[in-house]
Amino acid sequence: MTEVTEGLDQQVSDLVFAYDAAYGRAAQTVSLSAAQACLLEHLTADGCSMGELAGELLCDASNVTQLVSRLEARGLVARVPDPADRRIKRVSITPAGQRVRDAVRRAFDFPSDRLGRLTQPERHQLAALLAKVLA
Amino acid sequence: MTEVTEGLDQQVSDLVFAYDAAYGRAAQTVSLSAAQACLLEHLTADGCSMGELAGELLCDASNVTQLVSRLEARGLVARVPDPADRRIKRVSITPAGQRVRDAVRRAFDFPSDRLGRLTQPERHQLAALLAKVLA
DNA sequence: ACGGATGCCTGAGTGGGTCAAGTAATCTCT
DNA sequence: AGAGATTACTTGACCCACTCAGGCATCCGT
């Protein structure tokens, strides 16, 4: 590894640390944990099943059960039984949940504060590099 | 926000998600939590105080107490009283701790697997962009 | 020497996360 | 149609991370 590459590793580590911290702060502004905010962000309009959420969040299904239960207790999501398969519970976001989710997005200042420092050509460059890294 | 910028936000989110997942997996290979591995990684040769660690990890001092206690119970770190100020406990890494820390580094495949996809000029580009973002 | 900071620890409480076992609904195969 | 396997979710037990309030020892300024 060259000098530059080692510096790059550290920079990526710092980026992730700053991102996680900013996300946690944004969630806290509406008394949500990062995990709860993350789940809220993953909900789609037609409603995800619990299993789909567990797959996307890379965690156990029983963990999703608890997260959804807490969000449901606050009235931010609702469990809707799937008419076609009654084993399935579809999690849909309520109007109150949408307001909270939007508040988290507004409070999440990482994109504007950090990525906003780049010029438009620089963003294109970064997007191209990240596309290669994430492919 | 333009189309490209929104895509960039998503890419950064994906990057962070992949990084965190990879780090957690690396820590698990030696039965450590991500938080424990992270603390181990922050230790310096001369020994950090508990308070310094809490500052770097952005968490409560009592949280550091518990993390260090668990690592100490496994023989990976040691609490060394500071000779100049007996309130201070300096946390130093043991030889066993160094071996575990190195194992985590080897198991952490994100830099090689992901950043390794970039050419040397691309790494320079990315490093420059991240420097601007993190400044 | 005394009072306020400082550094760390303890105990209680919440939440995230996994695992094992359980229940209900669906699917398969004959 | 019906028995058995499979799938989707829940429950209970458990551990860890994290925070907060309170406590104890030590250090520092006056």
Interchain CB distance below 8 Å, B126 and A123: no
Split at pLDDT 50, 70, 90, the class of A2 is low
Segment (H or E) for B80: strand B77-81
Q: Which fold has domain A3-108?
A: Arc Repressor Mutant, subunit A (1.10.10)
Phi and psi at residue B48, in whole multiples of 5°? -90, 150
Q: Tens digits of per-residue pLDDT, A74-101? A: 999 999 999 999 999 999 999 999 999 9
pLDDT at residue number B2: 54
Q: Tens digits of per-residue pLDDT, B70-124? A: 999 999 999 999 999 999 999 999 999 999 999 999 999 999 999 999 999 999 9
Split at pLDDT 50, 70, 90, the class of A48 is very high
For residues B9-21, average pLDDT: 97
- Average per-residue pLDDT for chain B: 95
Q: Tens digits of per-residue pLDDT, B47-59? A: 999 999 999 999 9
Interchain CB distance below 8 Å, A114 and B125: no
C-alpha–C-alpha distance, residues A88 and A86, integer Å: 5
- Please name the residue of chain B whose CA is at the shortest distance from the CA of residue A13: B19
Looking at the complex, report in whole angstroms how far the Cα of residue B134 sits from the nearest Cα belonging to chain A: 7
pLDDT at residue number A22: 98
Structure tokens at B112: 């090689």
Residue window 105-134, chain A: list those with CB within 8 Å of chain B. 110-111, 114-115, 117-118, 120, 122-127, 129-134
C-alpha–C-alpha distance, residues A104 and B48, integer Å: 35
C-alpha–C-alpha distance, residues B53 and A45, integer Å: 43
Contact between B23 and B34 under an 8 Å Cβ cutoff? The reply is: yes
Domain assignments of chain B as residue spans, ordered by start: 3-108
pLDDT at residue number B3: 61
Interchain CB distance below 8 Å, A130 and B11: yes
pLDDT at residue number A73: 97
Nearest CA to the C1' of D18 belongs to which residue? Answer: B63
For residues B54-70, average pLDDT: 98
Residue B6 above 90 pLDDT? no
Calculate the alpha carbon distances from B80 to B40, B55, B63, B95 in Å. 15, 19, 18, 15
Contact between B39 and A46 under an 8 Å Cβ cutoff? The reply is: no
Residue A47 above 80 pLDDT? yes
Q: Which residues on chain A are in Cβ contact (under 8 Å) with B133?
A: 15, 114-115, 117-118
